[in-house]
Structure 1
């Protein structure tokens, strides 16, 4: 169950589609119910209503889903939600009505407003008594869910699944810095230090704060060290970012090339020296994990899900706020020895987070727990 699915593209849509593919490959029979319009796909049921802007909701979704579940009697219903996922939660209601085990995966970080909303829904509907099993993608994302759900809803961490083999660049040899004198100290792979960030340019990701961070980095790094920054992605905040770059005279070294394919992103990462994941409420950080797999030192928020696979000083550097993150990026830009040490570690030590065998095993355990809980209540 997911509000959004292919052909729409986004973090949840791609992750659910990849999970479906890997579970089918593992021998599971998987069907998808979604409110997203699109072409007919095997095993995908599109429950669509004429809504403004093609919003993925359905006014009578609970009834449609209850009838479908009652007819097909799946072994488990797996619901994927973001911060606000009305159709997906209709799927939860339908599963409870049909008496089916239900696992709910929360892909987002619950902010204070979201936590307050789910507390009100808990009072109104008592969802903590429905026998649900919850999973989320990181320890940072699990903490607020546990605080709201209480002890009656188990909350497990099952990370997003990725095939990281294509991102590894372990065949590259890290050469020691040439003796270029004081002016050349800290230069990256191409006579400059290349900083890269990847993500949707949406206001909730606060991409303009990333540009503010880059401006601070430029002020902290010695002028003798040339910097270049590439922010890959597209979205509604792109216009405000372009205006910010122009207003602050940053267009000469910061570029916004737009959306890239995975292959194009991998090519950019080959020329990069530092990866930045600045989003304050990053529940997991797929792009950051891909960059870490490619060997790059990663700078991210200490409170985000990236901290599950980036330890401060080992795979990258972590900061608690914009100032600390800017100082961390500046330190990596100026200190080639630290960059080389972290890069060598990241290339020699593949990340354990996000491997598909671990992800499939984690969900299988959640399915079994939900089925056992349903049996114990019947």
Structure 2
């Protein structure tokens, strides 16, 4: 199948949608499909041209960077539909990836449907109440569904909000993010250290990720057993420098190393500990899934997309608010048997969201959109 993945954002930009579109493209290419990614994100250090499209290869997927010069390399290009119209018409299916604000993806959705191309659309974000109401009034999502697009989102929670925004009984499937367990889980279960419990998290240091609340909760968990706990928060973003400055005096128990490579993150997780996911409006939570696959018990909000793969008491603990997250974290620190039981389960039972399973769901969405094998 010849597949076009359409996304505003793509690496080198950092984030969940960027990583997942790249990994989906690689996985589809590895399964024998011809995959082309169209994005408005420029390559690092690359120049722009109003009508030039930079093409490169990314582990089997062909990446087309359809960019224009904008401040801060914003992934927007109103010229894109005109520039790629003829070549997009030659694909078997278009798979659009939507974020909170995705003008590039929305423009190419209109183009794909205008061309009569089977079109699947996946939301990687949480539509807030105002966005749901706005989409109902605009009727854009409902219009796409009525024109034959197959709608999906990365979790049950996110899918429910897209259904509410469509407001016309459109079926919204769940197409989760995928993971390669071999990159995260060791070959054998190794008991974690008994004399220390590492509290960990990995996220983009941005306002919507609730960084100050996360550090506060980690501090409360640490205060309950300061001799045995230490916290590490991995990641980069606009709030990292400020967070380091504000919490400079906490360096005795809090580490903020910045962004690290996947292999280094996996090694850190394999030492054991607890993973805390603080976000309320998390569409999926790929970082939490990585931690769970590496064995860490995950503490997360029961109302977020993380609840799709964390079962309370089985591979983590779920809570409804910040106080509940702190209580769950303290419980895992104090109860070594519970912590090790969850860790052993996570290391021996693979998550359902393997790339093999996710590719089957993706192909099913393409077929639902009208594409043939």
Q: Same fold (TM over 0.5)?
A: yes
1:327 corresponds in structure 2 to 327
Q: CA deviation at 1:60?
A: 2.4
* Cα displacement string for residues 183-234 of structure 1 (whole angstroms, at most 9, x for unaligned residues): xxxxx61622111101111111111110111122234x245x4210000011
Are the structure 2 counterparts of residues 322 and 170 from structure 1 closer, same or farther at C-alpha, using a change threshold of 3 Å?
farther
How much does 1:152 deviate?
4.6
1:90-121 CA distance string (max 9 Å, x none): 11010111111110011111122332332233
Unaligned runs of 5+ in 2: 1-5, 44-53
Give the Cα separation in 2 of the matches to 1:271 and 1:355.
23
Q: 2:233 is matched with which residue?
A: 231
State the distance in 2 between where 1:193 and 1:210 align: 17
CA contact (8 A) 1:297 1:316 kept: yes
Q: 1:368 to 1:61 in 2, by over 3 A?
A: same
Distance 2:70 2:100 in 1: 20
Higher mean C-alpha displacement, 61-70 vs 228-237: 61-70
1:134–1:322: structure 2 CA closer, same or farther, 3 Å change rule?
Answer: same
**Residues 131-166 of structure 1 deviation map (CA, whole Å, 9 limit, x = unaligned):** 211121111211111111134532111111111112
Which of 68, 91, 116 is the equivalent residue of 2:133?
A: 116
Contact kept, 8 Å, 2:141 with 2:166, in 1: the verdict is: no
In the alignment, what sits opposite 1:86? 103
Q: Distance in 2 between matches of 1:285 and 1:238?
A: 20
Question: What residue is the counterpart of 1:194 in the other structure?
Answer: 198
Runs of 4+ deviating beyond 6 Å? none
Q: 1:160 to 1:27 in 2, by over 3 A?
A: same
2:50 corresponds to: none
Q: 2:77 is matched with which residue?
A: 58
TM-score by length of 2: 0.89
What displacement does 1:77 show?
Answer: 0.8
Higher strand share: 2
Q: Does 1:104 align with 2:121?
A: yes
> Which deviates more from structure 2 when the two are superposed, residues 111-120 or residues 97-106?
111-120
TM-score of the aligned structures, taking structure 1 as reference length: 0.88
Q: Distance in 2 between matches of 1:222 and 1:17?
A: 41
| 1:13 and 2:18 aligned | yes
What is the aligned partner in structure 2 of residue 362 from structure 1?
361
Aligned to 1:79, what secondary structure does the other structure show?
strand
Q: CA offsets per residue over residues 52-85 of structure 1, 9 Å max, x none?
A: 2211111223333434323xx2111111111111
List runs of 5+ in structure 1 lacking aligned partners. Answer: 175-187
Q: C-alpha offsets along residues 263-296 of structure 1, whole Å, 9 cap, x if unaligned? A: 1101111223111111111111111111111111
Instruction: Please say if residues 299 and 317 of structure 1, whose CA atoms lie closer than 8 Å, have aligned partners that are also in contact.
Output: yes
Larger radius of gyration: 1
Deviation at residue 124 of structure 1 after TM alignment? 10
From 94, 105, 116, give the equivalent of 1:77. Answer: 94
Question: 2:125 touches 2:283 (CA, 8 Å); kept in 1?
Answer: yes
* 8 A contact 2:150–2:172 mirrored in 1: yes
Name the residue aligned to 2:49.
Answer: none
Aligned length: 353
Task: Confirm or deny that 1:205 pairs with 2:209.
Answer: yes
